Structure 1
């Protein structure tokens, strides 16, 4: 009997990297079990190194091997299941999709620091620390460029849902929490992401969580 894949994630209220992998897998139609291990708890301390060599989430066990890092997980699915169309088919467009995904993976430190993900809160006007406005402007530029130049045929950055959308979904969540408006193109794209049934389900689960991590709460 084949073992069902398992995705290990952290608290849905806070774990932006968990959302990236989870949303990508869900949208790709991958059948997997979800194992949530609360961040910073005794359970986390006891289990994290067991399911992930980095003691971080997300981690994906496909029944034979463990893959860690959200982008690596989704790249693996894109390679092993090309029918999921997690990258654009056109090679040139795919290169742009990978570029903005990697820009998200390694950049926007001020935004991450000053606007931590928090699905339960409404903190409009807060989190505008040094460097954040520059990050917001660049992300708005990415959204507009991708939607207008590559987004024909759908409502996502590259038309159909791709890994790029999974990578930017937690940013959309942050913009919702901290009341960050973009131009009409960016705002419409954010509504698309927030309107996804999977994202609505994630938010509902986050609202039901009881854990609070004081270190990442913005008052």
Structure 2
């Protein structure tokens, strides 16, 4: 398999796709494509990106192509077993899938106002009411999952799952922008940061040679 991803410092969707392939345990080749550089518009028109409309991540296995992070998770779950990615309990699995889907389609204000950059940390600042509301929604779903299905583990559904993969880039945003978190959420974010796959992604990002200037400046409220 070959996975095309964007810059590890900035690309939240690439992070999800990459974490999914790492979780599968399958061997893969990783190809990092610098986003928005001088060759980006031409590069994204290449055949390897066509199926996904020029976006990353995109996963190839011979002539089989899968784009979109959530689709990559499901493709890999079919290959290695759904228990690798989703809780075994039916009710927990239903909630995990709902949370992953909501993360996939929602939280537009949070994404816009707090763009991902795992190499930076800014002081806390006032956020828009819309973003604060979305952060509240994230925290309430985290609390619900932990209360019902967290068990004795460190993650949303006891053991690390696709739900954690989907929320990992949000956790990095909370760290980057020093978002105040209640104790349970701070503990969960710390657990994510100590997971070996997430730790490797963040460490790799520190060693990237390229930057995207618009993501290197603190976004004004």
Structure 2 unmatched ranges of 5 or more:
none
Taking the TM superposition and a 5 Å limit, the aligned residue runs for 1:106-145 are: 106-126=105-125, 128-145=127-144
Q: After superposition, what is the alpha-carbon deviation per residue over 1:49-87, rounded to whole angstroms, capped at 9, x for unaligned?
A: 322221111000012311000000001111222165201
| TM-score normalised by structure 1 residue count | 0.92
Counting matched residue pairs gives 215
Structure 1 partner of 2:35:
39
Deviates more, 1:135-144 or 1:83-92: 83-92
Taking the TM superposition and a 5 Å limit, the aligned residue runs for 1:23-34 are: 23-34=19-30
Helix, strand or coil for the counterpart of 1:131?
Answer: helix
1:201 matched to 2:175: no
Helix, strand or coil for the counterpart of 2:35?
Answer: coil
Structure 1 unmatched ranges of 5 or more:
none
Sort the Cα spacing of 1:127 and 1:71 in 2 relative to 1 into closer, same or farther, 3 A: farther
> Could you tell me how far apart the structure 2 residues matched to 1:127 and 1:213 are?
24
**Contact 1:10/1:39 (CA < 8 Å) preserved in 2?**
yes
Shift of 1:21: 1.1
Taking the TM superposition and a 5 Å limit, the aligned residue runs for 1:46-65 are: 46-49=42-45, 50-52=47-49, 53=51, 54-65=53-64
Sort the Cα spacing of 1:102 and 1:14 in 2 relative to 1 into closer, same or farther, 3 A: same
When the two chains are superposed, the root-mean-square deviation of aligned CA atoms in Å is 1.6
Taking the TM superposition and a 5 Å limit, the aligned residue runs for 1:1-219 are: 5-49=1-45, 50-52=47-49, 53=51, 54-82=53-81, 85-126=84-125, 128-219=127-218
Q: After superposition, what is the alpha-carbon deviation per residue over 1:133-156, rounded to whole angstroms, capped at 9, x for unaligned?
A: 111111111111111111114211
Sort the Cα spacing of 1:92 and 1:125 in 2 relative to 1 into closer, same or farther, 3 A: same
Q: Which runs of 4 or more aligned residues in structure 1 lie more than 6 Å from their structure 2 counterparts after TM superposition?
A: none
**Contact 1:16/1:117 (CA < 8 Å) preserved in 2?**
yes
Shift of 1:214: 2.4
